[in-house]
Amino acid sequence: MKPPMILFVEDEPKVAASVKQGLEENGFEVDLAPDGAVGSYLASSKKYDLILLDVNLPHVSGYEVCRSIRAKDPSVPVIMLTAMQAIENKISGFDAGADDYIVKPFDFRELLARVKVFLKRSTGGGEQLEDVILRVADLELNLAEKSVTRQGMPITLTAKEFALLEFLMHRKGRVVSRADISEHVWDVNFDTGTNVVDVYINFLRKKIDKNFEPKLIHTKPGLGYYLKEL
């Protein structure tokens, strides 16, 4: 089996080298890019299973790099790394299309755990790949093809948006709390006060509800969200 390929865009040589070594010891193959230009170029010329992207890069910020990667590949998981902890920066990263966020300085084991979560999802993790289609009204999610359609029209989702929609569809008609969602979709319990789940629900609404009727994503005030054809 081919080892999963990871692209790491990082301008600090020490961080780049130690993470590369750690990932390689864990069975991954890693390409390093020292700046955003090289990162964008590699991301568009080679197929990666996951991209780790520093925010503070020379010349072009990680957000810009993320947007350019997203424009070409909507589905590759992108994890951003940053020393900035502010919520606004997290939201900027998610707006740019990142799937997850790691705050520097980080413990390598934390990074490895996040990477493994994404690769398990995007490769099926060796579990049996069933050709399962989840449906709510005219919304269809194909687990095997990792594709989504509404009224037969393909809808492009990022890896995180897909995971969130899959979670809601598995529980259709049932209210799920923000804590449930963050724990299952992000594998972390977001500190109270962050609105990452709400931000992602809005992303999903724009893609699967905005141009369609009836609306399928509903808010239960104070409790959470549910997916249902009313």
Residues forming beta bridges with residue 5, ordered by sequence position:
29
Name which of 11 and 209 has its Cβ closer to Ca ion. Answer: 11
By CB under 5 A, residue 11 contacts Ca ion: yes
Residues forming beta bridges with residue 215, ordered by sequence position:
none
Residue of closest CB approach to Ca ion: 56
By rule CB under 5 A, what string of x and - marks binding of each residue 21-60 to Ca ion?
---------------------------------x-x----
Candidate ranges 5-13, 68-76, 120-128, 209-217; the one touching Ca ion (CB under 5 A) = 5-13
Name which of 54 and 100 has its Cβ closer to Ca ion. Answer: 54
Subset of residues 95 to 114 that bind Ca ion, contact rule: CB under 5 A: none
Q: How far is the CB of 158 from Ca ion (least distance, A)?
A: 23
CA–CA separation, 5 and 46 (whole Å):
10
Candidate ranges 8-16, 72-80, 84-92, 98-106; the one touching Ca ion (CB under 5 A) = 8-16
Name which of 65 and 163 has its Cβ closer to Ca ion. Answer: 65
Candidate ranges 6-14, 37-45, 120-128, 178-186; the one touching Ca ion (CB under 5 A) = 6-14
By rule CB under 5 A, what string of x and - marks binding of each residue 58-77 to Ca ion?
--------------------
Task: Quote the tokens at residue 14.
Answer: 């020490």
Candidate ranges 11-19, 31-39, 148-156, 213-221; the one touching Ca ion (CB under 5 A) = 11-19
Name which of 14 and 47 has its Cβ closer to Ca ion. Answer: 14
Name which of 79 and 155 has its Cβ closer to Ca ion. Answer: 79
Q: 131 — phi, psi (to 5°)?
A: -85, 75
Task: Quote the tokens at residue 166.
Answer: 């899959």
Name which of 30 and 169 has its Cβ closer to Ca ion. Answer: 30
Other C-beta atoms closer than 10 Å to the C-beta of 122 total 18
Residue appearing with tokens 């991209």: 51
Name which of 16 and 136 has its Cβ closer to Ca ion. Answer: 16
Binding site for Ca ion (CB under 5 A): 11, 54, 56
